[in-house]
Amino acid sequence: MIVRKLRLQRGWSQDQLAELTGLSVRSIQRFERGEMPGLESRKALAAVYEVDFETFSGGDAMHGNNAHISQRETDALEHVRDIKAFYSQLATYLVVIPGLFLINALTGSGYWWAAWPALGWGIGLCLQALTVFEVFSLFGPQWEQRRVAKRAGRRD
């Protein structure tokens, strides 16, 4: 997570960081998900970010003054990822569904079968939008807290 925080503070993309460090984009993605970088990777990241080598060593060093990611920041990153996933799904929908209708029209079928995937996928997208943009939250934070408390055998 520290790799992601430092990268975002500098406004770099994963591709830019990979190019600057000489690491692969896939490695950057793994480190951002919390996988421990190897020795050479830590050296490359420390050099690019101009921070102490120990910043990427894990343990207490991961919680240094500039390296700590608060729960609030973690929640914000998760929310942004959810929004990104929604927009990615929407873009895919806007490409695939017209393509299906085009195929349906070109095959000369009198039956508009492309409406069914458009309808099903569209309903899914609407539900995803309602959840991501917090219009409707059936399984929101309060639900999660109740389930965790129940699983742990506590009563709140």
Nearest of 47, 17, 20 to residue 32 by alpha carbon: 17
Q: Residue ranges of the domains in the chain?
A: 2-63, 71-151
CA dihedral angle for residue 55, residue 61, residue 64, residue 67, rounded to 10 degrees: 40
39 vs 94, higher pLDDT:
94
Residue 68 — very low, low, confident or very high, per pLDDT cuts 50/70/90?
low
72 vs 93, higher pLDDT:
93
Give the pTM: 0.51
**Which superfamily, per CATH, for 2-63?**
lambda repressor-like DNA-binding domains (1.10.260.40)
pLDDT digits (tens, 9 = 90+) for 6-48: 888 888 888 999 999 999 989 888 888 888 888 888 888 988 8
Radius of gyration over alpha carbons of the chain, in Å? 22
64 has a pLDDT exceeding 60: no
146 vs 60, higher pLDDT:
146
Alpha-carbon distance of 25 to 37, in angstroms, equals 13
